[in-house]
Amino acid sequence: FLEEWGLESLEENAHSTVPCTKVFVNGVWMGVHRDPANLVKTIKKLRRKDDISPEVSVVRDIRERELRLYTDAGRVCRPLFIVENQQLALQKKHVRWLTNGGNDEGEEFRWEHLVKGGIIELLDAEEEETVMISMTPEDLENSRLQQSGVDPHA
């Protein structure tokens, strides 16, 4: 799977002077990658579209030039709402659909649909350390205001 996205073998890069990021899967060094930012973005996009398991953890350590993927069982994962471009992916219609047990077309709507629909993401403790988390909607709004140059406390 990772070879499709540019993972190079250890043998090919044993004496390479080009800076690469080491890629580990469940603690096993699988190879190196020359564009880790793009690989992380791709894996997260696949996870949010339910093309790969939502429980796959993606941890990029920029200082150590490592990308660690975890797929093993037993990791505790915490559900978090996804925010894209400082906008919460969850909308009022999703809450209404959950409350009613179905969407406006009468199709069933449950928790899994939030995960598979890219509205909620499951993060383990290690991946949580690499993302920004707003604890309240007000934190998100304050962040939005600061991005636009407005002091939220003025």
Position with higher pLDDT, 137 vs 94: 94
Most distant pair of Cα atoms in the chain: their distance: 60
pLDDT for 150? 52
140-147 long-range Cβ contacts below 8 angstroms, 24+ apart: 140/83, 140/86, 140/88, 143/86, 144/86, 147/86
* Inter-CA distances, 89 with 27, 56, 86, Å: 32, 20, 9
pLDDT tops 80 at residue 84: yes
CATH of 1-72, picked from 1.20.120.450, 3.90.1070.20, 3.40.50.720, 3.40.50.300, is 3.90.1070.20
Please check whether residue 86 is in contact with residue 143, taking contact to mean a CB–CB distance below 8 angstroms.
yes
Q: Please list the residues that pair with 31 across neighbouring strands.
A: 23
Question: What is the per-residue burial (b if ≥16 Cβ within 10 Å, else e) of 21-59?
Answer: bbbbbeeeebbbbeebeebbeebbebbbeeebebbbbbb
pLDDT for 137? 79
> Domain limits of the chain?
1-72, 76-154
Q: Please state which of the ranges 59-68, 77-86, 131-140 shows the lowest mean pLDDT.
A: 131-140
Q: Please list the residues that pair with 123 across neighbouring strands.
A: 78
pTM: 0.80
pLDDT for 144? 63
Please check whether residue 62 is in contact with residue 33, taking contact to mean a CB–CB distance below 8 angstroms.
no
The whole-angstrom separation of Cα 83 and Cα 96 is 19
The whole-angstrom separation of Cα 2 and Cα 68 is 12
CA 49 to chain centre: 11
